[in-house]
A and B are shown apart, each in its own frame.
Chain A
């Protein structure tokens, strides 16, 4: 079923997904480390606290609340964490296709991973923009464009429909396997 062209495309997709996954993991780890260090410095050295707050505040927006900074950091880390979930699920899906593992529960599990990750990002993005609005926080650089929310939702619906169809397909295969 998979010819030479598909095989080359799959290999390319596999390599790109590995690179993206590695980048996201390294980025998440680095950001977590940086924020932890900044947090520790701010706690230990009160004189540095104002400087750190000023630097971060000027990058985010016109706010005075440290809680807003904490929210922005958590917002960013959560988005990256969900992106890692999506990237890992897609990486495993491509791996399954390469090994010709199609209608198995593992494949369904990875599709569910993409579904959960993408859904969480859509919901968190929406909630984040609502909460950020009340803080007067500009998350334009880390949040998504609001005009694409409808399209994101439609894509999630399409992905969910594919998940249900796949689940039914696996059930049909199981029933077929039990016909002796």
Chain B
């Protein structure tokens, strides 16, 4: 699964979630969905705006984490 690690970058840049949401043009609720891992996906346009505001790369806020062993067996 893809994990969103935006909190660390926000902390480094001294930007609040509310400010980021306003800058990239999404609601704080949607940003919360992204941060809490409940999002099913992210649009490239949204990702580009986040990276522009936070001055970072997609890899700085997106991390691949291996699923559980049972999930891998199911996929196979």
Contacts and interface: CB of A to CB of B under 8 A. Distances in A.
A179 B43 contact: yes
Contacts of A176: 40
Contacts, number: 22
Quick one: which of A175, A176, A178, A180 has the most chain B CB within 10 A?
A180
Contacts of B46: 180
A96 to B, nearest CB: 24
Contacts of A180: 26, 30-31, 33-34, 39, 41-43, 46
B38 interface: yes
A138 B41 CA distance: 62
Interface residues of A, number: 5
Point out which of A175, A176, A179 has the most chain B C-beta atoms below 10 A from its C-beta: A179
A175 B26 CA distance: 17
Interface in A158-180: 175-176, 178-180
Interface in B9-40: 26, 30-31, 33-34, 38-40
Contacts of B43: 179-180
B35 to A, nearest CB: 10
A175 B41 CA distance: 9
Contacts of B41: 178-180
B45 to A, nearest CB: 10
Contacts of A178: 33, 38-41
A180 B40 CA distance: 8
A49 B59 CA distance: 86
Contacts of A179: 39-43
Contacts of A175: 40
Nearest to B35: A180
A171 to B, nearest CB: 11
Contacts of B30: 180
Contacts of B31: 180
A176 B30 CA distance: 12
Given A176-B40, A178-B38, A180-B34, 10 more contacts: A178-B40, A178-B41, A179-B39, A179-B40, A179-B41, A179-B42, A179-B43, A180-B26, A180-B41, A180-B46
Interface of A: 175-176, 178-180
7 contacts: A179-B39, A179-B42, A179-B43, A180-B31, A180-B33, A180-B42, A180-B43
Closest 3 CB pairs of A and B: A178-B40, A179-B41, A180-B34
